[in-house]
């Protein structure tokens, strides 16, 4: 299915990341980091369809070699908390062939990245590999943050812009230092540029859809900006997906099922509310007499018409009973005019918006907690293995042990980096995270219980709409007959 996914992050030393290791992982290669003095070998990872480096004309040609390029970046960035590279992951489209997808990705990168003077290292991956949440084929992109100057050397990320007084002289602070603003030397990291890239990718894919005569389209805007009342599902990842496919229920799977059910209810309720609001506007325009009929009068006319066509007393009694129940419902809601009904529908819309906003916040926090708990599990599983590795003295046994436990050690070190700032008094607050997650999930259930009566009220209001519509339709028919007779008499 057509999918828009365009996500960007930064590779940072402050997060314990290595850009050489990141490049090796995305390309499925073995690369050596001169900065850390270690190899990153992902040649057995699989799932990498192709990889390529695209250089602007002024870049040194040796940067076409992946290991040379990223070691040069590591060397240029000496700070312990340096920002090393932009990292993009972008979904391709199942509706295109792999050759079309790769050509589309290369065209996008050449026009929008390399055309700006950026060095691009990109790799195309199969669906459901590595990031787990992207159902389509996708490609990863790494771009150095530091620009390359026309002479092939690395330029600065920022430049100083000194503040001047009314005489054009530099201003000093209390310590006697000149005051300045740090201004980026490129626009690569600005929100406007990212928005331009996201839109350009969507337009490129949509042009390809149109070229192939396909009706599907993608949109770079968020659900909120598109005006779509929908809660996003949480990222499940390959492990959760595999368990769900085997029939094993998971917390994330249950949460996503609830979100999809809630979205369906919200869409149905919103569609009916929109239809009712539109109908009410038409009723107000047509019943614009000084004293328009009330809802009771309109429903009474509907009941009378039903009874005129009834064949038995039992049917008439049933019509009167239904009429009485409907009037009682309208009285309980204090609905007497079409204006009252419209006000109630607007109130229901505000409730839906509030529920969506509340649910979105809780969902975001649940996602964060799921990730923290996953990292905590990786840490606890890998800690004994990592401790034992430290105690192995002989390099031969050490390397053998490390190779045998490569996956456990890799996830342990990843968890160790991501949990670096989460320790409280020397411990991970796992119990507190689980307690908070349980509380949020309970609140999710409470939101669903609030939506249910809203949906029930919408169904009842829809029934009122149908009854009044029939009355209105019959009145229009009678008016048309009257006008026709009048015209016949006049002629």
Q: What is the CATH number of the domain that holds 200?
A: 3.30.930.30
Q: Is the pTM of this model over 0.75?
A: no
Q: Residues 341-344: contacts with CB within 8 Å, 24+ apart? A: 341/276, 341/280, 341/295, 341/461, 341/464, 342/277, 342/280, 342/281, 342/284, 344/461
Report the pLDDT value the prediction gives residue 257, as an integer from 0 to 100.
83
Residue 255 and residue 353 share a domain: yes
Buried residues in 262-285 as b, exposed as e (16+ CB within 10 A): bbebbeebbebbeebeebbeebee
Q: Which of 387, 439, 445, 451 is nearest to 413 (CA)?
A: 387
DSSP state, residue 148: B
Same domain, 196 and 284: no
Q: Quick one: which of 439, 441, 251, 432 has its CA closest to 363?
A: 441
Please provide residue 335's backbone torsions phi and psi, each rounded to the nearest 5 degrees: -105, 115
Q: What gap in Å lies between CA 51 and CA 29, rounded to an integer? A: 10
CA 237/CA 228 separation, integer angstroms:
25
Residue 163 counted as domain residue = no
**pLDDT for res 72:** 94
Neighbours of 479 (CB within 10 A): 10
* 354 is a domain residue: yes
CB 273 within 8 A of CB 349: yes
In a domain, 392, yes or no: yes
What token pair was written down for 354? 């509030």
Whether 41 and 172 have beta carbons less than 8 Å apart is answered as: no
Residues 78 and 135 in one domain: yes
- Asked if residue 341 and residue 203 are part of one domain, the reply reads no
Q: d(Cα 84, Cα 149) in Å, to the nearest integer?
A: 17
Q: Are residues 379 and 426 in the same domain?
A: yes
Same domain (yes/no): 73, 127: yes
Report in angstroms the alpha-carbon separations of 176 from 167, 171, 172, 173: 18, 9, 5, 5
56 and 27 in a common domain: yes
> Which tokens sit at 370?
């799921």
Residue written as token pair 């790494």: 142
Query: Mind giving me the DSSP string for 137-164?
Result: -EEEEEEESSPBPTTSSB--SEEEEE-B
* 112 and 85 part of one domain: yes
Q: Please tell me whether residues 94 and 141 are part of one structural domain.
A: yes
Q: Is residue 326 in a domain?
A: no
Domain that holds residue 281: 235-292+337-491
* Within a domain: 47: yes
Structure tokens at 262: 């809630």
CA 448 to chain centre: 21
Same domain, 251 and 136: no
Is the sign of the CA dihedral 183, 189, 192, 193 positive or negative?
positive
The residue among 105, 86, 93, 106 whose CA lies nearest residue 136 is 93
> In 166-236, which ranges are continuous DSSP H helix?
191-211, 223-226
Same domain? For 266 and 410 the reply is yes
For residue 298, tell me if it sits in a domain: no
Indicate if 206 and 67 belong to the same structural domain. yes
Residue 182 inside a domain? The answer is: no
User: Does 307 fall in a domain?
Assistant: no
So what's the pLDDT on residue 432?
93
Number of domains making up the chain: 2
Separation of alpha carbons 400 and 418, rounded Å: 27
CB atoms within 10 A of CB 216: 14
Sequence length of the chain is 491
- pLDDT means per 10 residues, the chain with 491 residues, are 85 91 94 93 90 94 95 90 92 91 94 93 79 72 93 85 78 78 80 92 92 84 58 65 79 80 75 77 67 76 75 77 80 79 76 82 90 92 90 90 91 91 91 93 86 77 73 77 82 68
């Amino acid at each position: 299915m057509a999918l828009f996914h365009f996500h960007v992050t930064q590779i940072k030393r402050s997060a314990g990341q290595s850009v050489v290791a990141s490049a090796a992982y995305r390309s499925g290669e073995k690369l050596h980091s001169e900065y850390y003095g270690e190899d990153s070998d992902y040649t057995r990872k699989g799932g990498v369809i192709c990889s390529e480096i695209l250089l602007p004309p002024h870049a040194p040609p040796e940067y076409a070699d992946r290991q040379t390029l990223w070691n040069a970046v590591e060397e240029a960035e000496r700070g312990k908390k340096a920002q090393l590279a932009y990292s993009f992951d972008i979904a391709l489209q199942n509706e295109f062939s792999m050759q079309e997808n790769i050509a589309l990705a290369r065209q996008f990168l050449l026009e929008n990245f390399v055309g700006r003077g950026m060095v691009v290292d990109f790799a195309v991956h199969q669906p459901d590999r590595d990031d787990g949440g992207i159902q389509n084929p996708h490609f990863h992109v790494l771009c150095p943050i530091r620009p390359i100057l026309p002479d092939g050397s690395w330029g600065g990320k920022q430049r100083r812009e000194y503040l001047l007084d009314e005489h054009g002289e530099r201003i000093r602070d209390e310590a006697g230092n000149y005051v300045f603003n740090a201004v980026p030397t490129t626009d690569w990291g600005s929100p406007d540029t990212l928005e331009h890239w996201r839109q350009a990718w969507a337009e490129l894919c949509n042009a390809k859809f149109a070229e192939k005569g396909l009706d599907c389209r993608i949109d770079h805007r968020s659900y909120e900006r598109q005006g779509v009342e929908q809660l996003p599902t949480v990222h499940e990842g390959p492990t959760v997906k595999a368990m769900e496919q085997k029939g094993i229920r998971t917390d994330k799977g249950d949460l996503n099922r609830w979100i999809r059910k809630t979205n369906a209810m919200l869409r149905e309720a919103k569609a009916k509310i929109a239809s009712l609001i539109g109908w009410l506007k038409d009723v107000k325009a047509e019943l614009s007499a000084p004293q328009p009929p009330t809802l009771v009068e309109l429903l009474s006319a509907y009941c009378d018409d039903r009874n005129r066509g009834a064949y038995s007393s039992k049917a008439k009694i049933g019509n009167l009973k239904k009429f009485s129940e409907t009037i009682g419902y309208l009285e309980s809601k204090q609905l007497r005019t079409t204006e009252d009904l419209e006000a109630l529908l607007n109130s229901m819309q505000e409730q839906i918006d509030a529920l969506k906003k509340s649910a979105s916040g809780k969902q975001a926090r649940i996602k964060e907690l799921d990730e923290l708990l996953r990292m905590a599990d990786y840490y606890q599983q890998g800690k004994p293995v990592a401790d034992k590795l430290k105690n192995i003295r002989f390099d031969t046994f050490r390397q053998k042990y490390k190779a045998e436990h490569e996956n456990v050690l890799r996830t342990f070190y990843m968890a160790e980096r991501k949990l670096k700032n989460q320790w409280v008094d020397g411990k991970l607050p796992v119990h507190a995270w689980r307690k908070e997650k349980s509380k949020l999930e309970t609140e999710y259930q409470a939101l669903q219980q609030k939506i249910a009566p809203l949906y029930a009220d919408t169904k009842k209001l829809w029934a009122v709409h149908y009854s009044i519509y029939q009355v209105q339709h019959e009145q229009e028919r009678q008016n048309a007959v009257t006008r026709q007779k009048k015209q016949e008499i006049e002629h």
